[in-house]
Copies of this chain bind each other. A is one copy, B any other.
Amino acid sequence: MKKIVCLSALVLSACFVYAQELASPNGNFKMNFSLDASGTALYSLNYKGKAVINPSKLGIDLKNDTNSLLQGFSIKSSDNKTFDETWQPVWGEWKNIRNNYNEWAVTLHQNKGDRDLIIRFRLFNDGLGFRYEFPAQKNLIHFVIKEERTQFAMTGDHTAYWISGDYDTQEYDYTTSKLSEIRGKFKEARSSNASQTSFSETAVQTSLMMKTADGIYINLHEAALIDYACMHLNLDDKNLIFESWLTPDAKGDKGSLQASCSSPWRTIIVSDDARAILASNMTLNLNEPSKIKDVSWIKPVKYMGVWWEMIAGKSTWAYTDGVPFGTEGTAAVKEVPSIKLGQTDFTKLKPNGKHGANNAHVKEIIDFAAKHGFGGVLVEGWNVGWEDWFGYHKDYVFDFVTPYPDFDVAGIREYAKSKGVKMIMHHETSGSVRNYERHLDTAFKFMKANNYDAVKTGYVGDIIPLGNYHYGQWMVNHYQYVIEKAATYKIMVNAHEAIRPTGIYRTWPNMIGNESARGTEFQAFGGSKPNHITLLPFTRLIGGPMDYTPGIFEMDVSKVNPGNKSHVNSTLANQLALYVTMYSPLQMAADLPENYNRFLDAFQFIKDVALDWDDSKYLEAEPGSYITVARKAKGTNNWFVGNVTGIPGGKVSEINFDFLDADKNYIATIYSDAKTAHYKTNPQAYEIKKVVVGKKSKLKQWAAEGGGYAISIMETDKAATKGLKKL
A contact set with B: CB distance below 8 Å: 135-138, 141-142, 144, 227, 249-251, 253, 256, 258-260, 325-326, 334, 336-338, 340, 388, 391-395, 434, 437-438, 441, 464-468, 474, 477, 481
A475 to chain B, nearest CB (A): 9
The listed residue (B136, B251, B338) touching A338 by CB distance below 8 A is B136
Distance A222 CA – B481 CA, assembled complex (angstroms): 38
- Inter-chain contacts of A441 with B (CB < 8 A): 441
Distance A138 CA – B334 CA, assembled complex (angstroms): 9
Distance A274 CA – B434 CA, assembled complex (angstroms): 44
Are the CB atoms of A468 and B250 closer together than 8 Å? Answer: yes
- Inter-chain contacts of A340 with B (CB < 8 A): 258
A708 to chain B, nearest CB (A): 44
Are the CB atoms of B141 and A251 closer together than 8 Å? Answer: no
Are the CB atoms of B465 and A249 closer together than 8 Å? Answer: yes
Nearest CB in chain B to that of A481: its residue: B438
- Inter-chain contacts of A438 with B (CB < 8 A): 437, 481
Q: List 11 A-B contacts (CB under 8 A).
A: A136-B326, A141-B337, A249-B466, A250-B250, A250-B466, A256-B392, A256-B394, A256-B395, A258-B340, A434-B474, A438-B481
Distance A551 CA – B261 CA, assembled complex (angstroms): 45
Are the CB atoms of B466 and A465 closer together than 8 Å? Answer: no
Are the CB atoms of B392 and A142 closer together than 8 Å? Answer: yes
Are the CB atoms of B474 and A142 closer together than 8 Å? Answer: no
Distance A138 CA – B321 CA, assembled complex (angstroms): 12
Distance A135 CA – B325 CA, assembled complex (angstroms): 9
- Inter-chain contacts of A136 with B (CB < 8 A): 325-326, 336, 338
A434 to chain B, nearest CB (A): 6
Are the CB atoms of B138 and A336 closer together than 8 Å? Answer: yes
Nearest CB in chain B to that of A261: its residue: B340
Nearest CB in chain B to that of A322: its residue: B138
A563 to chain B, nearest CB (A): 23
Contact A393:B141 (CB < 8 A) given known A259-B338, A466-B251: no
The quantity of this chain's copies bound in the complex is: 2
- Inter-chain contacts of A337 with B (CB < 8 A): 141
Are the CB atoms of B137 and A388 closer together than 8 Å? Answer: no
A194 to chain B, nearest CB (A): 15
- Inter-chain contacts of A251 with B (CB < 8 A): 250, 466-467
Nearest CB in chain B to that of A468: its residue: B465
Nearest CB in chain B to that of A139: its residue: B336
A647 to chain B, nearest CB (A): 45
The listed residue (B138, B336, B481) touching A141 by CB distance below 8 A is B336
Are the CB atoms of A388 and B141 closer together than 8 Å? Answer: yes
A545 to chain B, nearest CB (A): 28
- Inter-chain contacts of A477 with B (CB < 8 A): 395
A110 to chain B, nearest CB (A): 17
Nearest CB in chain B to that of A397: its residue: B258
Distance A466 CA – B467 CA, assembled complex (angstroms): 9
- Inter-chain contacts of A326 with B (CB < 8 A): 136
Are the CB atoms of A392 and B258 closer together than 8 Å? Answer: yes
Distance A434 CA – B481 CA, assembled complex (angstroms): 11
Distance A260 CA – B326 CA, assembled complex (angstroms): 11
Sorted nearest first, the 5 A-B pairs with minimum C-beta distance are A250-B467, A136-B325, A250-B250, A142-B392, A256-B393
A331 to chain B, nearest CB (A): 15
Nearest CB in chain B to that of A323: its residue: B136
- Inter-chain contacts of A259 with B (CB < 8 A): 338
Distance A441 CA – B394 CA, assembled complex (angstroms): 23
- Inter-chain contacts of A258 with B (CB < 8 A): 338, 340, 388, 392, 394
Distance A438 CA – B334 CA, assembled complex (angstroms): 40
- Inter-chain contacts of A253 with B (CB < 8 A): 466
Nearest CB in chain B to that of A438: its residue: B437
Given contacts A136-B325, A142-B394, 11 further A-B contacts (CB under 8 A): A136-B326, A137-B336, A138-B334, A142-B388, A142-B391, A142-B392, A249-B466, A251-B467, A395-B477, A441-B441, A464-B474
Distance A336 CA – B139 CA, assembled complex (angstroms): 9
Distance A187 CA – B618 CA, assembled complex (angstroms): 69
Distance A338 CA – B135 CA, assembled complex (angstroms): 12
Are the CB atoms of A260 and B465 closer together than 8 Å? Answer: no
Contact A141:B338 (CB < 8 A) given known A465-B468, A474-B465: yes
- Inter-chain contacts of A135 with B (CB < 8 A): 325
* A249, A388, A464: most-surrounded residue (chain B CB, <10 A): A249
Are the CB atoms of B325 and A137 closer together than 8 Å? Answer: yes
A488 to chain B, nearest CB (A): 12
- Inter-chain contacts of A481 with B (CB < 8 A): 438
A606 to chain B, nearest CB (A): 40
A201 to chain B, nearest CB (A): 23
- Inter-chain contacts of A391 with B (CB < 8 A): 142
Distance A334 CA – B250 CA, assembled complex (angstroms): 36
Distance A319 CA – B259 CA, assembled complex (angstroms): 20
Nearest CB in chain B to that of A255: its residue: B393
A105 to chain B, nearest CB (A): 14
* A253, A259, A392, A464: most-surrounded residue (chain B CB, <10 A): A392
Are the CB atoms of B142 and A393 closer together than 8 Å? Answer: yes
- Inter-chain contacts of A256 with B (CB < 8 A): 392-395
Distance A259 CA – B249 CA, assembled complex (angstroms): 30
- Inter-chain contacts of A437 with B (CB < 8 A): 434, 437-438
Nearest CB in chain B to that of A340: its residue: B258
Distance A394 CA – B249 CA, assembled complex (angstroms): 14
Distance A117 CA – B166 CA, assembled complex (angstroms): 39
- Inter-chain contacts of A227 with B (CB < 8 A): 395
Distance A571 CA – B325 CA, assembled complex (angstroms): 60
Nearest CB in chain B to that of A441: its residue: B441
Distance A392 CA – B337 CA, assembled complex (angstroms): 43
- Inter-chain contacts of A465 with B (CB < 8 A): 249-250, 465, 467-468, 474
The listed residue (B260, B393, B467) touching A144 by CB distance below 8 A is B393
A102 to chain B, nearest CB (A): 23
Distance A142 CA – B461 CA, assembled complex (angstroms): 15
A262 to chain B, nearest CB (A): 13
Distance A258 CA – B340 CA, assembled complex (angstroms): 9
- Inter-chain contacts of A388 with B (CB < 8 A): 141-142, 258
A179 to chain B, nearest CB (A): 34
- Inter-chain contacts of A338 with B (CB < 8 A): 136, 141-142, 258-259
